[in-house]
Amino acid sequence: MKAMNDGVKVSIMGREYSVACADDQQAALTQAAIHLDRRMREIQKGGKVIGMERCAIMAALNITHELLELKNIDNRSNDMESRVRALYEKIDLAMRDDEQKQLTL
């Protein structure tokens, strides 16, 4: 996979593709192409999917599914962080209220 003036040349399943992209994105594009090539080859080795187009679609579906699962995990993590912050604020408020009550006694 060679960098070109107007983009990157990548190889997926033995076919060469020239893909235009910004200079700062060339490494990421190359890694994406390597990942896609690897996934398509795994699917092809399974022997159940015939044809380049179907193999590409199955790889895209699998990768998309994984991406969506990661996003859901990230969203749940952000939600949990918000809940923990809210609990800390409630505890802090309750402790301040308790301190105020003790000072007035």
Split into its structural domains, the chain has a count of: 1
Identity (one letter) of the amino acid at 72? N
Q: Which helix (H) or strand (E) holds 4?
A: strand 2-4
In tens, the pLDDT along 19-37 reads: 999 999 999 999 999 999 9
In tens, the pLDDT along 40-90 reads: 999 999 887 778 899 999 999 999 999 999 888 877 777 788 888 888 888
Stated pTM of the model: 0.63
Rounded Cα distance, 10 and 40, in Å: 14
Q: Maximum Cα–Cα distance for the chain, whole Å?
A: 81
The whole-number pLDDT of residue 3 equals 44
Residue numbers of the domain that contains 26: 2-104
CATH number of the domain encompassing residue 86: 3.30.160.880
Rounded Cα distance, 73 and 71, in Å: 5
